[in-house]
Amino acid sequence: MAYWLAVGAAFAGVGIMVARRYFAGGVCRSLAMMTGKSVIITGANSGIGKAAATELAKREARVIMACRDLDSGEQAIKDIRRKTRNGELVLKHLDLASFQSIHKFSEDILKEEQRLDVLINNAGIFQCPFMKTEDGYEMQFGVNHLGHFLLTNLLLGLLKKSKPSRIVVVSSKLHSRGNIDFENLNMTEANYNRAAGYSNSKLANILFARELAHRLDNTGVTVNCLHPGIVWTNLSRHMNVSPVVKILMRPLIWLLLKSPEEGAQTVVYLSVAPELEDQSGKYFGDCHEKPFTAIARDDGVAKKLWEASEKMTGLA
């Protein structure tokens, strides 16, 4: 009996480890170093952004951590320093819900930085209650899309000067549920739907990446976007899951969801892999190219969204 119990436990253990490895997803196999290269990561104080910052610091990059909460950013730098003494970590304030903050951040970067090799548009807000940015836009569309749209455009000159350089856009598989309704780009409180707001903003991320890749053809600056997988981070903070439920779900979360380090693999891959140096306008997941969904392939919508975003951010 004891023998069969031990055999059963061993099989269960192996099964759990195999399942864990499966759900951990793809791994960045590139060993490329980033010595002498500068990277900006938005939302680098938490989750996927912090894990990517740690890995890029290990590869000796100068990592500019663009965070809206400087205390949390300081704490992240301490944590990263405990894991690696490599790399140079620079903390800068950036609130993507404020065009003024984005302009101030970009002006400082253009004044202080000699180069920018990789811009990682990672920060995001997920299914929050109805809120508006400082400039009056619905928060998810404002932060996830418009904030990064403005930031990227303001930093394009430096990226071009530093070619070959890369822009990495963190989107989500949930973009496939999104819809770009030009009559209702900026949802009002009356017609707000949190889930739709998130999916729309993530679809906008992909359409932005594809249109920008077109516009940057032959400039030496590439743009690619990705789904990081389902990752256990602070992203679900607005979902009000009770702490008890979170504790009860911990074993399942451990088994089925990626850790932030696992979720950062595709971000790191798109930032460092030498074989991607001339690859642009593509969508990745688990460190592999994936096909675009039909909704993300609409070039007409991508162009129209670009023009609308220029107006909304004051660039046109």
Which residue is closest to ligand NAP by CB?
Answer: 47
Tokens representing 85 are 């003494």
Give 15 or 130: the residue with its C-beta nearer to ligand NAP.
130
Kindly state the DSSP code that residue 98 receives in the 8-state scheme: -
How far is residue 90's CA from residue 88's CA, in Å, rounded to a whole number?
7
Instruction: Please identify which residue in the block is written with the tokens 């065009």.
Output: 99
Question: Does the footprint of ligand NAP cover residue 197 (CB under 6 A)?
Answer: no
With CB under 6 A as the contact rule, the residue among 39, 40, 48, 65 that binds ligand NAP is 48
Among 45, 106, 140, 280, binds ligand NAP (CB under 6 A): 45
Q: Are 187 and 197 in contact (CB under 8 A)?
A: yes
d(C-alpha 67, C-alpha 209), whole Å: 22
198 is annotated as an active-site residue: yes
Binding mask 160-179 for ligand NAP (x = CB under 6 A): ----------x-x-------
Q: Using CB under 6 A as the criterion, what x/- string covers residues 230-249 for binding ligand NAP?
A: xx-xxx--------------
Between 35 and 234, whose beta carbon lies closer to ligand NAP? 234
Catalytic residue among 3, 22, 192, 198: 198
Which member of 96, 156, 204, 272 binds ligand NAP (CB under 6 A)?
A: 96
Query: Token pair of 110, please?
Result: 């253009």
Return the C-alpha torsion angle 28, 32, 38, 44, nearest 10. Answer: 20
The DSSP code for 138 is B
> Do residues 101 and 77 make contact, with C-beta atoms less than 8 angstroms apart?
no
Residue 41 sits in the site that holds ligand NAP (CB under 6 A)? no
Q: Would you state the structure tokens that stand for residue 301, as one six-digit string? A: 């919508």
How crowded is residue 59: how many other Cβ atoms within 10 Å of its Cβ? 21
Q: Which of 28, 94, 154, 312 touches ligand NAP by CB under 6 A? A: 94
- Of the CA atoms within 13 Å of residue 235, those in its CB half-sphere come to 26
46 binds ligand NAP (CB under 6 A): yes
Beta bridge partners of 289: 284
Q: How far is the CB of 185 from ligand NAP (least distance, A)?
A: 18
- Residue 45 tokens read as 């104080």
Near ligand NAP in 127-156, by CB under 6 A? 143
What residues are labeled active site? 198
Q: Which residues bind ligand NAP (CB under 6 A)?
A: 42-43, 45-49, 68-69, 72, 94-97, 122-126, 143, 170, 172, 227-228, 230-231, 233-235
